[in-house]
Amino acid sequence: MSVKRANYFKHQFLREQDFKEEQAYHVEMRRRHNRLFHSWGIADGLEVSKKGDRELIVEPGTALDKDGREIVLASPFTLQVPAFDASSHTYVTIEYRELFEHSDLETVGGVEGYLRVTELPEIKLRRHHPTQDGAVVALARVHLDEFSNIHHVDHSVRRRAGTASAAAGWVRLAFKPVRMELIRIDRKLVQPADAERRLEAEFTCDVAHAYCGERGARGSMQIPVPPGAERVTAFRISGTTRGNVRVQLVRTGWNASENRGEQTELLSESVRDASFHKELRVADHLQQLHGENHALAIAVVADAETDIWLVACHFE
């Protein structure tokens, strides 16, 4: 179906519907662009800070939601924090709202009407983390002390809007693990007691898959984060085994916000099915990736004959 826009000519009689369709065309095209070429999240500003024991201030800024709608806060907004449970936390969120009434009321020729549609940023406190579907944008997690006063404002839940990533979606990985033959004791890498056995027990990598014999094998492999990817949301592994396969996904690299190296376990799972196709979701609060600072790593331990045919991560 084609897209139509208004076309004007001399002596044309314009009706109310013509102006509505003119507005609708430009609004829809702008939001379509935002949806297709930009990811939802915070585009600018909207920092949250503590103003008092029960008071927060949200700075001006702009966000995009999943529908491509711009959420604009033009001036600082003060938010009162009610007496939630002691030693708990709450989330500051922002979402898009429209008001078709109560905006520039005027009477012309005996007819009364509103001249404008008001686009509002609706800022709320929520007890639970908002779903990661982009309808609502999280600005901060607020931690409360034993007196239900504001103790700390955590910005780690913020998601940045940006250019839509070509890496979004499932990325299949060639599973080529490095043998894990050393262990760490008191900050030192040492050979385990059964070093000879572990030197033999390794994955053999073919063109399409990795295989280990009846003794099993163990190995780890780094996963580069694709350019533009901001989070990892899920992980897949498929294969066959005569025993048990243990899988661990870890976020590694440098944590710039905390100024330290990072090794955070995102998920851990054991697979016992003879033939398996396992899809695992990464918890929302662990999904964030910081571009070139972060990488991922997987560790796989098989205790019997095993074939690994598929390893993949889902990025956004």
Cα atoms found within 13 Å of the Cα of residue 245, Cβ hemisphere only = 26
* pLDDT given for residue 10 in this prediction: 92
DSSP string for 46-101: --EEEEETTEEEE--EEEE-TT--EEEE-S-EEEE-----TT-EEEEEEEEEEE-S
Residue 200 has pLDDT above 60, yes or no: no
- The average confidence (pLDDT) of the chain is 84
Angle at 143 between CA 141 and CA 144, to 5 degrees: 145
* pLDDT given for residue 110 in this prediction: 73
pLDDT in tens, 88-108: 888 999 999 988 766 667 777
pLDDT in tens, 251-276: 998 877 678 888 899 999 998 889 99
pLDDT in tens, 148-198: 888 888 887 888 887 765 556 888 888 888 876 555 666 665 555 554 444
According to CATH, the topology of domain 169-315 is Jelly Rolls (2.60.120)
| Cα–Cα distance measured from residue 82 to residue 80, given in angstroms and rounded to the nearest whole number | 6
> Is there a contact between 161 and 41 (Cβ–Cβ < 8 Å)?
yes
In angstroms, the Cα distances linking 226 to 159, 240, 282, 296 are 17, 28, 17, 11
* pLDDT given for residue 196 in this prediction: 46
Residue 288 has pLDDT above 90, yes or no: no
Angle at 163 between CA 157 and CA 164, to 5 degrees: 85
According to CATH, the topology of domain 16-163 is Triple-stranded beta-helix (2.60.520)
**Residues of each domain in the chain carrying CATH 2.60.120:** 169-315
pLDDT in tens, 209-252: 899 988 888 888 888 888 777 788 899 999 999 999 999 999 99
244: number of Cβ within 10 Å: 15
Which secondary structure element, helix H or strand E, spans residue 172, and what is its range? strand 169-173
